[in-house]
Amino acid sequence: MSSQLTRRDWLRASGLLTAGLTTGLRFSKAATSTIANQSVFVDEFSALRDAKLVSPPDTMPKLRARLFANENPLGIAPSAKEALVKAADSGNRYAWMEFAQLKQLIATDEGIKPANIMMSPGSSDILMAAASHFAKGGGTILTSAMTYDDLLERAQRQGAKIVAVPMTKDYKYDLNAIKAKITPEVKLVYLVNPNNPTGTVVPAADLEAFCREVAPKVPVFLDEAYIDFYEPAERPKLGKLVADGQNVILARTFSKIHGFAGLRLGYAIAQPEMLKTLKPYTNGEFAVSITTLMAGIASYQDKEWQNHCRAENAKARDYTTKALTAMGYEVIPSAANFILFPIRMKTKAFENQMFANGIGIQTRDFNGQPYCRVSVGTMDEMAMFMDGFKKVVG
């Protein structure tokens, strides 16, 4: 895929937007570009997600287990549902107090000021805004190989150069190697913790030390989409970096543990000047509806539901990890709601056969090795996944 092609261009060129697709998508080598040569994947997961969305339902076998988008299989909190229904009565009003209320809740938890927070409809908007801003006029975005590519792909399309540093052998960020690549051309460092698609984490102290050393020279963007899957006692508390005046941007989403992937809610934590810089690239906070905000306020405070989702996720993740390990697969230990592991079939054949069995997953080649990334669903879905997997790999 040419790096000049957008995701939609590519899907259109592939006939996917017009013809739909029959089973899973194949991207791997055919879809790689210059950043993939540095072993960052190019838009594969998101292209797959889009293709599923545009695919007419009758062209795809009905999925029994939808395990390709790292969604919360348990849905939104009952308290959030109740808030949504109540919010319907406020649908004629612009949200004011609700922004202030949610920001205050977050600010209190993080030890920051409400002025350090910008709300958005999902964190993708924050990622895209940062991509557009830091790509302006060229320059380099420094990251790791095998990480989430939405920001990188957008930045590359807008003229940025992407430098992706190889991971360690155990699929972790090599922070020292990343630091060594900082040059005056680097405009942004982009890290994801826990990382997608590997599910691996950087120890909080290492990440903090990295930011304190690097951020005075170049802004650090920490994508914390999966942070809520940490046990609360172990969760990195990097809001304090922002409170200390560091040039760090934290991106958070309600799409994962809160189950708001469809409702759309996220936010950035950063210095007020940085938020002001990024804002013109967004549609503004009013892109978030009052219904989503009110549900978000309820969900944010519903620690019981979050604990429940985290515990169920850990249970189903452990079950799947053990089942795959027992079959001789080397599963990368995951701290998130998905698992990545090397497979012994070609990605296309594997993915197509899994979809034919009603199991939606994603696949990827990294350095010529095929991998499966499976989202953690309910226990029933993971049992279905294992059944399908056994059938497919024989």
Ligand X SMILES: Cc1ncc(COP(=O)(O)O)c(C=O)c1O
**Residue numbers at the binding site for ligand X (CB under 6 A):** 70, 122-124, 127, 148, 192, 196, 223, 225, 253, 255, 261, 266
Which residues fall within 8 angstroms of residue 16, CB to CB, at 6 or more apart? 25, 51, 54, 55
User: Taking the complex as a whole, how short is the minimal distance between the CB of residue 253 and ligand X, in angstroms?
Assistant: 3
Nearer to ligand X, 132 or 255 (CB): 255
Cβ neighbours of residue 167 under 8 Å, at least 6 residues apart? 144, 145, 146, 173, 174, 198
**Whose Cβ is closer to ligand X: residue 254's or residue 355's?**
254
Nearer to ligand X, 167 or 386 (CB): 167
3-state secondary structure of 166: coil
* Shortest spacing between CB 138 and ligand X, in angstroms: 24
Q: CA 262 from chain center: how many Å?
A: 14
CB 192 → ligand X: shortest distance, Å? 5
* Between 196 and 289, CB nearer to ligand X: 196
Contacts with 58 (C-beta within 8 Å, 6 or more apart), sequence order: none
Q: CB-wise, 192 or 361, nearer to ligand X?
A: 192
Instruction: Please give the structure tokens belonging to residue 40.
Output: 């960052």
Smallest distance from ligand X to CB 262, Å = 9
Name residues whose C-beta falls within 8 Å of residue 109's C-beta, 6 or more positions apart in sequence: 239
Give the distance, in angstroms, between the CA of residue 144 and the centroid of all CA atoms in the same chain.
Answer: 15
Query: Least CB distance from residue 71 to ligand X, whole Å?
Result: 9
5 class by beta-carbon count within 10 Å (0-12 exposed, 13-18 middle, 19+ buried): middle
Residue type, 329: Y
By beta-carbon proximity to ligand X, the closer residue of 196 and 363 is 196
Shortest reach from residue 118's CB to ligand X, in Å: 13
Query: Maximum Cα–Cα distance for the chain, whole Å?
Result: 57
Q: Is 68 helix (H, G, I), strand (E, B) or coil?
A: coil
Q: Minimum distance from CB of 106 to ligand X (Å)? A: 15
Half-sphere exposure of 371 (CA within 13 A, CB side): 22
The smaller minimum CB distance to ligand X, of residues 239 and 353, is found at: 239
